[in-house]
Structure 1
Amino acid sequence: MELPKELSETSGLFCDADGMFSLNDSGNAPVIYRVNYQGEIVERTRLPLTNRDWEAITADDTSFYIADVGNNKGNREKVEIHKVSRLNANDITTFTLKYAGNNASSNMPYAHDFDSEAMVKYGKELLLFSKSWRTGITHIYKINEGEIEQTINPFASIEGLPGVVTGVDFDPHQGKFVITGYKSDPFGNFATFIAQISQDYTLHDIWPLERYKQVEGVCVDNKGTYWFSEEATEGRNASLSSAHVTR
């Protein structure tokens, strides 16, 4: 189904009991959108923040987590994650992150590993999955919510994915992470995929998403259905789709 034009640059997805939450990236308004399972916007929450490049949203029972971590060009020395109270949108804690080894002045655009578009709250852990342009190896970072400023080092990695990672969630029904991403070229061609990753970060299964292009977010609803959102690209409107994956 098509998403409203207001969500043309949708770049993150989180499933909740009665709908989903999404946001736009790259300088758009600092708004969390609540979307029903018919793809309609039912609520907007504007935050007192700047959307430099919001790329992911996840949540637990008390807080939303917004990842302002987009860094395709590699010129950000530090990125941010905002923890927002679900009861009071003005109650915000910001974590400032620096990737160990990142030297922004020497990074080449779309040819470095210090980028991310995927984040998930996994139990008590907040995990960030890298968008590794240079090596193709996805690095996984654990964010310390007790430390406002921190340098992050990967504690695990995933090899064998057919492109960069743009979204992640955890599927409690199957006990696996689900991720989505794509491989693209300068001519607007996309090879998009969805994959399952075991809890020890081993690649389990991959499925192509052949009709889609720039898929940016994925989440699992309480029935175990996978939902994924696609940003608008030339010739395609933003969309919201579902899939049933069983093994």
Structure 2
Amino acid sequence: MANLIKELPAILLIDIFKSYGAGENRVDALKNINLEIKKGEFLALCGPSGSGKSTLLNILSGIDRPTFGTTLFLDKALNNLDENQLSLIRSKHLGFIFQFFNLIPVLSAFDNVYYPLILNENYSKKAASELALHYLERVGLYELRDRKPGQLSGGQQQRVAIARALANNPEIVVADEPTGNLDLATGEAILDLLMQINQDIGTTFIISTHSTQLKDRANRVIEIKDGELVSDSAI
């Protein structure tokens, strides 16, 4: 049984369709998506704007629901869960990294990592503080922990966002264009950091990107076009 549990995928999508609108106004954002993502993978999801990348990320993370099909997240069928249950799963098992950082401008780097842990009621104040400091050190920002986002460079702000995503020790991190708002050199440094974290602690990374940097370096590359998976380097 132990061996079977270890082999379960991080995420499994079965016959996923996602449509918006009805009749002549219907838009099919995803069409018959079947995808297995193994634990510990570093996966790049590539495709042009409007291809369905963000919709797919929202489906596999339980932010949105498919029109048809089944989403298994760490062996839990998300289709059968209500919004409170989905929120609880995300808070415990999932980290998010966004293109535009989504930091709270009036809070310090430390507080941007610390307060989500407190609000989710998963940790005591002491434990949350220790985790926030640990991950700020892990991303190289311990000395800048008291600075607010406006006092940090774009790359430094993204490092705060990475620390925030990792502080809850999630099994899976979903990143939507995490280097899209950064210059080439800073983007490379961010990718180095994410890949090192993947190698060090085995966190599963699913990253939507236009970046050829990531496409060239990811362990697995999936291409999506017009809502359909058109290639998978693992196949």
Q: Name the structure with the higher helix share.
A: 2
Q: Name the structure with the higher strand share.
A: 1
User: Which of 1 and 2 has higher RCO (CA within 8 Å, sep 6+)?
Assistant: 2
- TM-score scaled by structure 1? 0.34
- TM-score scaled by structure 2? 0.35
